[in-house]
Each structure stands twice: as structure tokens, then as C-alpha cells.
Structure 1
Amino acid sequence: MLPHVYQVTKYNPADRDQHGHCAGAEPATSDHGPIEAACLEAVAAFAEDTGVDQLAAREPQLGGFAHFGLGPPVDGYGLADLFPAGLDGFHDGALVPIALGLELVRAMLRDSGAWCRLEAEGEFTVHVGWDWAFLKTLRRGQVVTGTVTSIAGFGVTFVDIGGFTAMINLPELSWRPFDHPSDIVSVGQEITAEVLDIDMVWERVPLSLRAVQEDPWPQVAQWLGQVVTGPVTKVLPFRVFVRIEDREDGFQGLVHTGELDQAPEDVIEVGDVVTVKIIDADVPRRRIALSQRQADQ
């Protein structure tokens, strides 16, 4: 953890909404004027404040991910005459004095096609291009904390993790059954989730809420052979579903019509309470098979 962290932003703080997101004008590239000058002055001041006189270029990129704005990369990627050895000098670990580091920052602000992270390890780091730089700090399996910002009509839950919007797909919300994401989370709620992947191309980060919860399914496997009573939750052709736990988000099992102990004239409806035996618990496929006929055996 760095001893000091500074944030330089091109946004007017007055333009931020209640969640901290910019709601005002958002320039795509440097203005080549006051904003650019202010960013460079801030970096120089932070370097002086920490006593850093040189920085190392890390993960240098030419084109590709290094491109942030709307304009095409310029000749030489904005690095002309910066390195005595030409572009060969722009390599991982290259040490540059602060003055040269500021010119690299200027090239990145102007979206010239070059990008790198500048750092003095343990003391000072400069990122240009928030989203991509932020994604580079994430790792699969990392546990992050964020705030639920919205729940889409198609069920995806969006979460703010440090200013970046990540997403949780329906299956990753809970190990247990639920009807709608709002049964699990609510807008404004702070949650802890695991990073499943980092898509650098589409700038997407899928999260899993259930990954940081204990998986109850291994326990379900131990219920094999038990006789339980529960309500019918769904009736479909050739099968019905029965909730086998006395809780709203209880697990449900499937009873094929061949395992129903019903007379031909009997009709099973949702809400009917039936007694069934757990005859199979397929943990990998997350399926529970039940039998009403075998419940009395």
C-alpha cells in the first residue's frame, strides 16, 4: 500500500451525482491547455512532495489499449526525441527523470498512442486513463467491496467498485433460489463480491456474490433418503416442483409424474402440501430428484 495516494481528475466536483459519478461534460482528450497544465503541475508537485526524482515505465503499450480518446495515434506515438534510443528506449523498467516522465504523461493525456504506468515502487504511481488502469489493478479471485447502483430489467445487477461499474449476472447472486435480484440485493446496498474475470477489450468485470458465501450444496447431498414435507411451487407437464426446506429461499426438488402417488382423477396444484422422499441429489448439476410414491416405503 502506498503511503500517500493522490487523485487528479478532469471533472468538476460540482458535476458529480450522489454516487460520485460525473454527470457533467466529459472531455474525450486533453485540452492542450489549462487542464493539461494543471495535471502536469499536480504530478510534478506530488513527485516533489514524495521526494521522487525518477520514475520507472511499467507495462508500456504502443497503440491498442493505449488509445483512450477519439483522435488517431500520431506519428511516433508522441515519443519523438524523448528517448535517445528511439522507441527501443520505451521498454518495461526504463528509468526516466521527472521531466521526461511529465512529457510521457503529456503524450498520454493527448492520446498520442503510447501508454505506460509510471512508478517509483512503494512511493509514487501515475496512471492515465482511469478505467483501463483500474482494470489492471484487478485479479481473478480478488474480493472487492462496492455499492449496488442499479438492477437492470433483464436481471443484471450493476455495482460501483471504486468508480468503475462492474456487473453480477443472475446465477452469481446466490446459491439459493430467488425470483428477482431485488430479493438478494437493493440499490445503495454495500456488498462484497469476488472478481470472476477482467475483460480488457470490452472493459467488463463480472462479479460473483455467491462466491464469497458458503456453498450449501455439499450439505444437500447428505439429505439423500430423507422424507420431507413441503409445498408444491410449480406444476409443469410431466413434473412438479416441491420446496423441501421450510424457508422462502429453500431448495426445490423435482417430482416426475411417474413418482407421484396420485389417483388419475387427482389434480395437484401450486400450494398443495405433499410428502416426498429425496431419491437423488446431483450436486454438480444442482438438481434434486424427489418421489412421492417412495415416501411411504
Structure 2
Amino acid sequence: MDNQLSKKVDGKQLAREILETLKPRISVLKKKKIIPTLAVIQVGNDTGSESYIRMKRKAAKKIGAAVIVKHFPNSVFFQEMAEAIHRFNANGDVHGIIIQRPLPPMLQTDAFNTAVDFRKDIDGFRAKSTFRPPIALAIFHILRTVYQLQNVTTHLKSKHIVILGRGETAGKPIAEMFTDKKIAFLQCHSQTTNMHEFTQEADIIISCVGKQRVVIKDMIKEGAVLIGVGIERDQKGKLHGDYDEEEIQEKASFYTPTPGGIGPINVAYLMSNLVTAAEDVIQ
């Protein structure tokens, strides 16, 4: 790469562009007395959850949508959560419902995903959901930007792609979208041995672990594209990604920063799904 520093993907700018495209669609909805409204069910006071909810409120405000947050303590019972979902399902003024992760261990069940009305499942967590998960849409938006291709699928079929992590909110839905598009990839996780042997061959690494320095300079090849999805907060509340940006930028051709990388794009696509859900009401 002739010692040229890699290009940092500006997730905030990409998110602004996505949100801008939603404004005309919302104007049409408002003429029909419809305001796209997202209901968020939150349990506890996880710092990361609080941050993401603030991002959702901010994005919604920019485009003229609304956000309702139903906040439960960690001691909430399963039945109370289920009843809240049922009420939002029945509310015609609510167009999208998300259950903010993480949840306490005793509430970590797929039952909540299936309880959400499929027409309001804008996180795309239900099996055979009509909505693509925003995190997966964000990954493909970044790859289209990096390779400067509107239809990037064919191009990706010639690339070596490695996904690190298989969690329900990132690694799993991202892998499912690659599978749906018939794009080959390798998925590594905590039980994978000699992971560096796979990452050193990868043209694209999508890291969804949420642990500092899970990807280090020696694990990537010259010119690789690095997309960091996983985040971790230190004791001072500072956000960290899965790799040290200063360390990897000498080898990576493109990389996403933390914060300001995948997060804003993820939220923008959540808003896009919300607007689509609201439009479906009048069709």
C-alpha cells in the first residue's frame, strides 16, 4: 500500500445520507396523518443500551419520526414483557417494535422475537421476517461504499470473507444475509482454533465480538477491509472496538471506527425499516 494510511469509513456521513432519503417518504405519510412510530422495550440500565436508544431518538427526530420507550427494571417478569409487546402489537399508531438488547439472562429467549407482530418486526429477528436486519443492511452499505459498486453481491463472491462472532444481534443476522445472497464466508467464534490462519487470508473481516484487540495487526493481510461491529466499554465508559485503529490502519485498505462507524448506519437502516412499516399500513 506504499505506506499510505487506510481510509476510515465515515459512518456518520453515510447515515446522514440514508436519513435524508427518508424525509420525502415521511412527508407523504404525514399528509395522510401518519407519523412513523417506534416502540422500544428496554430492561435495566445497560450503558450501551442507553447510548443506542439516544441514537435512535436523535435519528427519529431528524426525519420526523417518533420513539416511545417502555422501560422495565431488571426484576421485570416474563409476563409483563409479553403484555407490553401485545399492547404495542395492538396499537395502530405504533409501526415498529424492538426489544433492546442485552436482556437479563432469565429473559434471553426467542419467545419475545416471535411475539412481535411480523408487520412491526423492523429488527428482522423473526424467522422469515419481511424485514432485513438493519445491522446486515449496514454491512452491505459499507461494502458498496468501499468497492464503489451499487450491486456489490457478484463482486463479493470472489472475496475471502471472515465473520468473527455468532451472536444473535450481529454475527448471526449478518451471516444469514450472506447465506441468503449465496456469498461464501467463514464464521469464527470462541471455539475456533488458529483463528489467525483464517483472518490472514481474508479480504474482508467483519468482527462482531465486543472485546478489545480481538483483531490485531498480525492477524490481517495487507489491503484487507475491516468492519468493526463489536463494542466494549471500559471502566470509564469509553467505547472500544474489536481492534486498535492506529495499529491496523497501516495494513487495512478501509476500516470502520468505533464510535462513528457501523452504529449510525445501523440506526439509519432501522429508521428505513420503520418508514417502510408505516408505508405498509396504507397499502
Specify if TM > 0.5.
no
- TM-score, normalising length: structure 2: 0.24
- TM-score, normalising length: structure 1: 0.24
Higher RCO (CA-CA < 8 Å; seq separation 6+): 2
Quick check: which one's helix share is greater?
A: 2
**Bigger radius of gyration:** 1
Quick check: which one's strand share is greater?
A: 1
